[in-house]
Chain A
Amino acid sequence: MLSKCVVDCPELCLAYLTSFPSPSVWQDQAEQLFKSGHTNNWAVLVCTSRFWFNYRHVANTLSVYRSVKRLGIPDSHIVLMLADDMACNPRNPKPATVFSHKNMELNVYGDDVEVDYRSYEVTVENFLRVLTGRVPPSAPRSKRLLSDDRSNVLIYMTGHGGNGFLKFQDSEEITNVELADAFEQMWQKRRYHEMLFIIDTCQGASMYERFYSPNVMALASSQVGEDSLSHQPDLAIGVHLMDRYTFYVLEFLEEIHPASQANMNDLFQVCPKSLCVSTPGHRTDLFQRNPQNVLITDFFGSVRKVELTTETVSLKPDLSSMGYSHLKCHEDEELAEPLSYAAQLPVAQIIHQKPKPKEWHPPGGFILGLWALILMVFFKTYGIKHMKYVF
Chain B
Amino acid sequence: MGLLLDSHRRRALARLLLRLNTPLCVVSYLAGVFWFLGLAFSPLTQNTYISENAMGSTMVEEQFEGGEHALNFARDFTAQRRKTGSLPVAWLERTMRSVGLEVYSQSFSRTLPFPDETHERYMVSGTNVYGILRAPRAASTESLVLVVPSSPETLNAQAVGLLLSLAAYFRSQIYWAKDIIFLVTEHDLLGTEAWLEAYHDVNITGMQSSALQGRAGAIQAAVALELNSDVVTSLDVAVEGLNGQLPNLDLLNLFHAFCQKEALLCTLQGKLQHSDWASLGGSLHGLQTLMLMVLRQASGRPHGPHGLFLRYHVEAITLRGINSFRQYKYDMTAVGKTLEGMFRKLNNLLERLHQSYFFYLLPSLSRFVSIGLYMPAIGFLLFIPGLKALELWVKLNKADFGPEEQLGPNHSLVQPFGQDARGVALTPLVAPVLISQATGLALYLLPVMGQHVAAQHFPVAEAEAVVLTLLAIYVAGLALPHSTHRVVSSTPRGPDSGWMALKLVALLYLAIQLGCISLFNFSLGFLLAVTMVPAAALTQPSGPRFLYAVLLVLVSPGATLLGSLFLWRELQEAPLTLAEGWQLFLSALAQGVLDHHLYGALLFPLLSLGLYPCWLLFWNVLFWK
Binding site for B on A (CB under 8 A): 51-53, 88-93, 95, 233, 235-240
Give chain B nearest CB distance to A160 CB in angstroms: 10
Q: Which of B20-72 contact A (CB under 8 A)?
A: 53-54, 56, 58-61
The secondary-structure label for the interface of chain B is loop
A-B residue pairs in contact (CB < 8 Å), sample of 21: A52-B54, A52-B350, A53-B348, A88-B137, A90-B138, A90-B175, A90-B176, A91-B175, A91-B176, A91-B177, A91-B348, A93-B173, A93-B174, A93-B175, A233-B58, A235-B59, A235-B61, A236-B60, A238-B60, A238-B344, A240-B58
Residues of B with C-beta under 8 A to A92? 175
A53 touches B60 (CB 8 A): no
**B136 contacts the other chain (CB 8 A):** yes
Give chain B nearest CB distance to A94 CB in angstroms: 9
Residues of B with C-beta under 8 A to A240? 58
Residues of B with C-beta under 8 A to A233? 58-59
Q: How far is the CA of A238 from the CA of B175 in the complex (A)?
A: 10
Q: How far is the CA of A239 from the CA of B58 in the complex (A)?
A: 6
**B347 contacts the other chain (CB 8 A):** yes
Residues of A with C-beta under 8 A to B137? 88, 90, 95
Give chain B nearest CB distance to A91 CB in angstroms: 5
Given known pairs A53-B53, A238-B58, the reply for A91 and B173 (CB within 8 Å) is no
A52 touches B348 (CB 8 A): yes
Closest to A89 in B: B177
Total number of B residues with any Cβ neighbor in A under 8 Å: 20
**B99 contacts the other chain (CB 8 A):** no
Give chain B nearest CB distance to A239 CB in angstroms: 6
Closest to B54 in A: A53
Give chain A nearest CB distance to B502 CB in angstroms: 59
Give chain B nearest CB distance to A84 CB in angstroms: 15
**B135 contacts the other chain (CB 8 A):** yes
Residues of B with C-beta under 8 A to A236? 60-61
Closest to B53 in A: A53
Render B192-217 as a binary contact track against A, CB cut-off 8 A, 1 for contact.
00000000000000000000000000
Residues of A with C-beta under 8 A to B58? 233, 238-240
Residues of A with C-beta under 8 A to B348? 52-53, 91, 238
Residues of A with C-beta under 8 A to B135? 90
Residues of A with C-beta under 8 A to B347? 91
Closest to B176 in A: A90
Top 4 A-B residue pairs of the complex, sorted by shortest distance between their CB atoms: A90-B177, A90-B138, A238-B60, A235-B61
Give chain B nearest CB distance to A211 CB in angstroms: 31
Render B127-138 as a binary contact track against A, CB cut-off 8 A, 1 for contact.
000000001111
Give chain B nearest CB distance to A205 CB in angstroms: 24
Scoring B59, B138, B173, B175 by chain A CB atoms within 10 A of each residue's CB, the highest score goes to B175
Q: How far is the CA of A89 from the CA of B175 in the complex (A)?
A: 9
Scoring B60, B176, B177, B344 by chain A CB atoms within 10 A of each residue's CB, the highest score goes to B60
Q: How far is the CA of A357 from the CA of B226 in the complex (A)?
A: 74
Scoring A52, A92, A95 by chain B CB atoms within 10 A of each residue's CB, the highest score goes to A52
Q: Which of B153-176 contact A (CB under 8 A)?
A: 173-176
Give chain A nearest CB distance to B132 CB in angstroms: 16
Given contacts A90-B135, A238-B344, 7 further A-B contacts (CB under 8 A): A90-B175, A95-B174, A233-B58, A233-B59, A235-B59, A235-B61, A236-B60
A53 touches B173 (CB 8 A): no
Q: How far is the CA of A27 from the CA of B214 in the complex (A)?
A: 81
Given known pairs A90-B176, A91-B177, the reply for A51 and B60 (CB within 8 Å) is no
Give chain A nearest CB distance to B56 CB in angstroms: 5
Give chain B nearest CB distance to A171 CB in angstroms: 14
Residues of A with C-beta under 8 A to B344? 238
A239 touches B56 (CB 8 A): yes
Residues of B with C-beta under 8 A to A88? 137
Residues of A with C-beta under 8 A to B175? 90-93, 238
Q: Which of B91-149 contact A (CB under 8 A)?
A: 135-138
Residues of B with C-beta under 8 A to A90? 135-138, 175-177
Closest to A240 in B: B58
Q: How far is the CA of A52 from the CA of B178 in the complex (A)?
A: 14
Give chain B nearest CB distance to A320 CB in angstroms: 71
Give chain A nearest CB distance to B306 CB in angstroms: 25
Q: How far is the CA of A51 from the CA of B351 in the complex (A)?
A: 11
Q: How far is the CA of A91 from the CA of B175 in the complex (A)?
A: 4
Give chain A nearest CB distance to B173 CB in angstroms: 7
Q: How far is the CA of A238 from the CA of B59 in the complex (A)?
A: 6
Give chain B nearest CB distance to A103 CB in angstroms: 12
Residues of A with C-beta under 8 A to B60? 235-238
Q: Which of B366-413 contact A (CB under 8 A)?
A: none
Q: How far is the CA of A95 from the CA of B54 in the complex (A)?
A: 19
Closest to B137 in A: A90
Q: How far is the CA of A51 from the CA of B350 in the complex (A)?
A: 8
Give chain A nearest CB distance to B360 CB in angstroms: 25
Q: How far is the CA of A237 from the CA of B56 in the complex (A)?
A: 13
Q: How far is the CA of A312 from the CA of B350 in the complex (A)?
A: 68
Residues of B with C-beta under 8 A to A238? 58-60, 175, 344, 348
Closest to A51 in B: B350
Q: How far is the CA of A238 from the CA of B138 in the complex (A)?
A: 18
Residues of A with C-beta under 8 A to B61? 235-236
Give chain A nearest CB distance to B61 CB in angstroms: 4
Q: How far is the CA of A52 from the CA of B176 in the complex (A)?
A: 13
Residues of A with C-beta under 8 A to B174? 93, 95
Give chain B nearest CB distance to A266 CB in angstroms: 32
Q: How far is the CA of A233 from the CA of B348 in the complex (A)?
A: 15
Scoring A51, A53, A235, A240 by chain B CB atoms within 10 A of each residue's CB, the highest score goes to A53
Residues of B with C-beta under 8 A to A237? 60
Residues of B with C-beta under 8 A to A239? 56, 58
Q: How far is the CA of A325 from the CA of B138 in the complex (A)?
A: 78
Closest to B175 in A: A93
Q: How far is the CA of A237 from the CA of B173 in the complex (A)?
A: 12
Q: How far is the CA of A93 from the CA of B174 in the complex (A)?
A: 6
Render B332-370 as a binary contact track against A, CB cut-off 8 A, 1 for contact.
000000000000100110100000000000000000000
Q: Which of B564-607 contact A (CB under 8 A)?
A: none
Render B314-348 as a binary contact track against A, CB cut-off 8 A, 1 for contact.
00000000000000000000000000000010011
Closest to B174 in A: A93
Closest to B61 in A: A235
Q: How far is the CA of A303 from the CA of B137 in the complex (A)?
A: 43
A53 touches B56 (CB 8 A): yes
Residues of A with C-beta under 8 A to B173? 93
Residues of B with C-beta under 8 A to A51? 54, 350
Q: How far is the CA of A89 from the CA of B348 in the complex (A)?
A: 11
Give chain A nearest CB distance to B330 CB in angstroms: 21
Q: How far is the CA of A113 from the CA of B54 in the complex (A)?
A: 27
Closest to B138 in A: A90
Residues of A with C-beta under 8 A to B176? 90-91
Give chain A nearest CB distance to B135 CB in angstroms: 6
Closest to B56 in A: A53
Closest to A88 in B: B137
Closest to A235 in B: B61
Q: How far is the CA of A212 from the CA of B232 in the complex (A)?
A: 67
Q: How far is the CA of A92 from the CA of B138 in the complex (A)?
A: 11
Give chain B nearest CB distance to A107 CB in angstroms: 17
Give chain A nearest CB distance to B567 CB in angstroms: 45
Give chain B nearest CB distance to A288 CB in angstroms: 43
Q: How far is the CA of A93 from the CA of B61 in the complex (A)?
A: 13
Give chain A nearest CB distance to B493 CB in angstroms: 60
Give chain B nearest CB distance to A39 CB in angstroms: 45
Give chain B nearest CB distance to A243 CB in angstroms: 14
Render B552-564 as a binary contact track against A, CB cut-off 8 A, 1 for contact.
0000000000000
Render B175-188 as a binary contact track against A, CB cut-off 8 A, 1 for contact.
11100000000000
Q: How far is the CA of A236 from the CA of B347 in the complex (A)?
A: 14
Q: How far is the CA of A141 from the CA of B56 in the complex (A)?
A: 39
Q: How far is the CA of A238 from the CA of B173 in the complex (A)?
A: 14
Q: How far is the CA of A238 from the CA of B347 in the complex (A)?
A: 11
Q: How far is the CA of A51 from the CA of B176 in the complex (A)?
A: 15
